[in-house]
Chains A and B, each alone.
Chain A
Amino acid sequence: MSRLLDSLAQIGSLCRKEMLALVKEPASRAILIAPALMQSLLFGYGATYDLTHVPYVVLDRSGGAAAHELVARLDGTGVFEREATVRTPRQMAEAIDAGEALLAVSIPADFESRLASGRPAPLQVILDGRNSTTASLAAAHVGAVVASYNQARGTAPAPITIETRAWYNPNLESRWNLMPALIAALSMLQTLLLAALSVAREREQGTFDQLLVTPLTPMQILVGKALPAIAIGLLQSTIIFLVIRFWFQIPLNGSVWLLYLGLFVFTGAAVGIGLSISALALNMQQAMLYAFLLIMPLMLLSGLLTPVRNMPEILQIATYANPLRFGMEIVRRVYLEGAGLREVALDFIPLLGVAAVTLPLAAWLFRNRLA
């Protein structure tokens, strides 16, 4: 019993030393807290797929009432903002080329007469495809406006009414999808780097050899190094979580405890990867670069920006080794869908798997890789 207590006390003092090393300097302290806060605010506003402003130009060669009404309908949506009414196709092309307009609506001269005589009247819409996601969203908006215009004229076939309901995100705001994912993604970025630098820094400064000749076992060193890093990771997650919950007011549907259980296991896996890198690296620069070598694919193959389901089969299989994918999935599902432990239990398995491999590996490497 007393040996256990001794062992815990030893780990405790190592944790304390690690924490001090991290937060002693004001600059280092700031770097652990400020970025999480700033990035969650910046990306909360900046990272959106929702189309709210569509600058457009009109080339109206019919000049009739129908064309006017259609354009007025576009303006009335609040999304389409008319930049200019151009006179020539050349001006229209220039506006799109320069990026001033996302789309151009070209109304042919016989628009009015065709409509009046009951023939289909083509309306040309030209889109700037440099960002094809935005372009296709804008096209869908135009289509909806034209459809409602046709309906108002009574010329469209009475279509099937589609009653759409979106679960978990009623207004289909992309912020709701992205922000909870950032709770996991942003904190992983810094935590992994932090863990990767922790042993490498001691190697570079020569203090790691001293640590190895203390009575601490590699397992104790591991726990002493891992816990402070996990604590910092959870602190960052908490900051981002608070910003999302109270600044952006995205409602939390699941249990906070389950959310934190998921974050704890996820951060543990990330720290395990970081410490393994740290134990392998010979100096800080190597540690940082190897960490980054992993962070990039981890971020891209996590489903943060593009859904995992859109990836080719083989890459989808590769994502099973990616803790960020499952960390994000747990956070998103608990946060937005209100999923319970039973529903996300499977997502814990890959995370525990990564932690179970990387943490002991790091401990083994501490002793067996000496420069």
Chain B
Amino acid sequence: MTPGFVRRFNALLRKEVCQLVRDPSNLAVGLLLPGVLILLFGYGLSFDVKNAPVAVVMEDSSPTARDVLAGLKGSTYLAPLSVGSMQEAERRMRAGAVNAIVRVPADFSRQLATGQARIQLVLNGVDSNTANAVNGYVGGALATWAQHRADRAGGHAGGGAVVVEQRTWFNEAGDSTWYLVPGLVVLIMTLTGAFLTSMLIAREWERGTLEALFVTPVRPLELVLAKLVPYFVLGAIDLAMCLLAARFLFQVPMRGSLLVIVGASLLYLVVALALGLFISGATRNQFQASQVALLASFMPALMLSGFVFDLRNVPWLIQAISQVLPATHFMALIKTLFLAGDNLAMVLRACVILAVYAGVLIFATRRTVRKTLD
């Protein structure tokens, strides 16, 4: 490390820091947006269906049938609502006011005595996730009701049957916030990394200032490092915000060691930063750089990294593509570190992959700012 390197690097670094802090848009995206996202993910987004409105059409007025309605009311997930007729219920469903219709036919209590009672459940399938959940909750509420009835009747109907005892590891309450918040760390690192840096080199190419730098003794690697460091610091602040919010605001458990979580996150941050700079250097055009950054970094991290869509369900080709994304490896790791604990094999594997990505991308970026003119 020559003294020339330090002097040149410091000068470049100062310039980049000035550019970063003087532009309010950088700080808005670098600090304000992560804050907003943390609150949105922690409080706003949820897959957990609660109080889903369900229209109940009672065509049978017997006490037994009314008892069924009480059974549905007992579920915290459903908000049953009595409506007069099937037409009325269908109208409400078309208007989107209810998620499902439960119809108790006129001969319900008569059929129940013969053991052949039927109930009709009509779901609005547009939101298939909610529909599936409502389906399960209605089935569960009715099964519980039937069980109680059988118990009251004195028979032990459950005798000799297999009973499922279910335990969920890592996320005992099945709260979706617990997996959304660790995933948020990935999104915010991607955002700060790839987005803020994607314009940096392209802008200098467009304005011609990079050519001016060519006639100075500055070397490509110094240029790349000076552009990385300020944004790395910004990303580290975001990481601290995420971790503090996860721990104290949302009480998401951190079962892995904090050191590993921070280390892995910073490693991924370097990958994201290098990816943004590489896009910037490769396109040399701010318009293209911005579009590519959005499409190559953020959208895949949101959609294909296993953030909300479980990769187990996708075809092999998509799985292969997702394995190419650094975000996928970090996503699996950070969820495990938060919810399951340190898994040495997984930590090593993911960190080696991320380190290789970081090395390759920085090397590739260095080549895009070689001192050659078109």
Instruction: Please give the residue numbers on chain A whose beta carbons come within 8 Å of chain B beta carbons, in ascending order.
Output: 27-28, 31, 35, 39, 42-43, 45-55, 70, 96-99, 102, 114-137, 139-140, 142-143, 146, 149-150, 153, 155-170, 172-174, 176-177, 189-190, 193, 197, 201, 281, 284-286, 288-290, 292-293, 296-297, 299-301, 305-307, 309-312, 315, 332-333, 336-337, 339, 343
B124 partner residues in chain A, CB cutoff 8 A: 166-168
B150's closest neighbor in chain A, by CB? A157
Residues of B within 8 A of A45 (CB): 314-315, 317-318
B122 touches A49 (CB 8 A): no
Residues of B within 8 A of A307 (CB): 49, 127, 129-130
Check if B169 sits within 8 Å of A96, measured CB to CB.
yes
Residues in chain A near residue B265, CB distance under 8 A? none
Residue of chain B at shortest CB distance from A288: B290
Partner of A139, one of B36, B139, B166: B166
| B88 touches A (CB below 8 Å) | no
Task: Give the residue among B29, B112, B128 with the most A Cβ atoms within 10 A.
Answer: B128
Assess the B44–A301 pair: CB atoms within 8 A: yes
- B119 near A160 (CB under 8 angstroms)? yes
Which among B118, B122, B139 has the greatest number of chain A C-beta atoms within 10 A?
A: B139
Assembly CA distance A189 to B291 (angstroms) = 9
Q: 1/0 contact trace for B154-180 toward A, CB 8 Å?
A: 010111111111111111101110110
Query: Measured between alpha carbons, how far is A35 from B293 in the docked complex, in Å?
Result: 12
When the two chains form the complex, which single residue of A49, A153, A201, A299 contacts B309, counting CB atoms closer than 8 Å? A49
Question: Across the interface, which residues of B come within 8 angstroms of A288, CB to CB?
Answer: 199, 286, 290
Bound together, the chains give a CA A146 to CA B161 distance in angstroms of 9
The segment from B3-11, B219-227, B333-341 that touches chain A is: B333-341
List residues of chain A with CB within 8 A of the CB of B372.
none
**CB <8 Å contact, A129 and B165:** no
Q: Is the CB of A161 within 8 A of B291?
A: no
11 residue pairs from A and B, CB less than 8 Å apart: A122-B162, A127-B167, A128-B168, A134-B310, A142-B164, A142-B166, A162-B120, A162-B139, A177-B128, A293-B25, A296-B191
Interface centre among B23, B127, B135 (most CB of A within 10 A): B127
Name B47's contact: one of A99, A133, A333 (CB within 8 Å).
Answer: A133
How many residues of chain B are within 8 Å of chain A by beta carbon? Answer: 115
How many residue pairs bridge A and B at CB < 8 Å?
345
Q: With both chains docked as a complex, state the minimum distance between the C-beta of B165 and any C-beta of chain A, in angstroms.
A: 5
* Known contacts A143-B164, A161-B117; A297 and B40 CB within 8 A of each other: yes
Interface residues in B194-233 by Cβ distance below 8 A to A read 195-196, 199, 203
Tell me, rounded to whole Å, the shortest Cβ–Cβ distance linking B170 to chain A.
4
Pair A131/B291 contact, Cβ less than 8 Å: no
B111-137, CB < 8 A from A: 112, 115-133, 135-136
Closest to A306 in B: B45
Give residues 77-114 of B contacting A (CB, 8 Å): 93-96, 112
> Which of A50, A121, A134 makes the CB contact (< 8 A) with B161?
A121
Top 6 nearest A-B pairs (CB, nearest first) are A169-B125, A129-B171, A166-B125, A157-B157, A118-B160, A158-B115
Closest Cβ of chain A to B227, distance in Å, is 13
Q: How far is the CA of A281 from the CA of B23 in the complex (A)?
A: 11
Bound Cα distance A170, B124 (Å): 9
| B45–A163 touching, CB < 8 Å | no
Q: Is the CB of B25 within 8 A of A337?
A: no
Asked if B318 and A42 make an inter-chain contact with CB atoms under 8 angstroms apart, the answer reads yes
> Are A132 and B304 closer than 8 Å at their CB atoms?
no
Of the residues B155, B161, B196, B340, contact of A97 by C-beta under 8 Å: B340
Q: Does B234 contact A (CB under 8 A)?
A: no
A162 touches B119 (CB 8 A): yes
Q: Are B118 and A289 in contact (CB under 8 A)?
A: no
Of residues 309 through 364 on chain B, the ones whose CB sits less than 8 Å from some CB of chain A are 309-310, 312-315, 317-318, 321-322, 332, 335-336, 339-340, 343, 345-346
What residue of chain A has the Cβ atom nearest to residue B34's Cβ?
A: A296
What would 6 more interface pairs be, CB under 8 Å, given A35-B291, A97-B340, A343-B94?
A: A120-B163, A172-B135, A174-B129, A177-B129, A284-B290, A292-B191
How far, in angstroms, from A296 to B184 measured CA to CA in the complex? Answer: 12
Which of B94, B126, B139, B162 interacts with A121 by CB under 8 Å? B162
With A123-B163, A140-B136, A337-B94 as contacts: A51 and B313 at CB distance below 8 Å: yes
A293 to B23, CA, bound (A): 14
**Does the CB pair A130–B23 fall under 8 Å?**
no
Among B141-149, B239-247, B266-274, the stretch in contact with A: B141-149
Instruction: Fill in one digit per residue for B300-313: 1 if any A CB lies within 8 Å of its CB, else 0.
Output: 00111010111011
- Asked if B50 is at the interface (CB within 8 A of a chain A CB), the reply is yes
B75 at the A interface (CB under 8 A): no
Residues of A within 8 A of B40 (CB): 297, 300-301, 315
Q: Does B70 contact A (CB under 8 A)?
A: no
Contacts of B314 in A (CB 8 A): 45-46, 48
A48 and B175 CA atoms in complex are apart in Å by 20
Given A130-B340, A155-B160: A31 touches B127 (CB 8 Å cut-off): no
Q: Are A129 and B174 in contact (CB under 8 A)?
A: yes
B90 shortest CB reach to chain A, Å: 9
Tell me, rounded to whole Å, the shortest Cβ–Cβ distance linking B301 to chain A: 12
Q: Once the chains bind, are A172 and B346 in contact (CB under 8 Å)?
A: no
**A132, B196: Cβ atoms closer than 8 Å:** no
Q: Which residue from chain A places its CB closest to the CB of B304 in the assembled complex?
A: A46
Closest Cβ–Cβ distance, residue A305 to chain B (whole Å): 6
Q: Are A119 and B162 in contact (CB under 8 A)?
A: no
Contacts of B93 in A (CB 8 A): 167
Which B residues lie within 8 Å of A174 (CB)?
128-129
Check if A284 sits within 8 Å of B199, measured CB to CB. Answer: yes
Residue of A nearest to B183 (CB): A131
Residues of B close to A121: CB separation below 8 A: 160-163
Asked if A286 and B23 make an inter-chain contact with CB atoms under 8 angstroms apart, the answer reads: yes
Per the bound structure, the CA–CA distance linking A237 and B25 in Å amounts to 29
Question: How many Å lie between the Cα of A96 and that of B123 in the bound state?
Answer: 34
* CB pair B309 A337 closer than 8 Å: no
Q: Is the CB of A31 within 8 A of B288?
A: yes
Partner of A131, one of B33, B116, B179, B345: B179
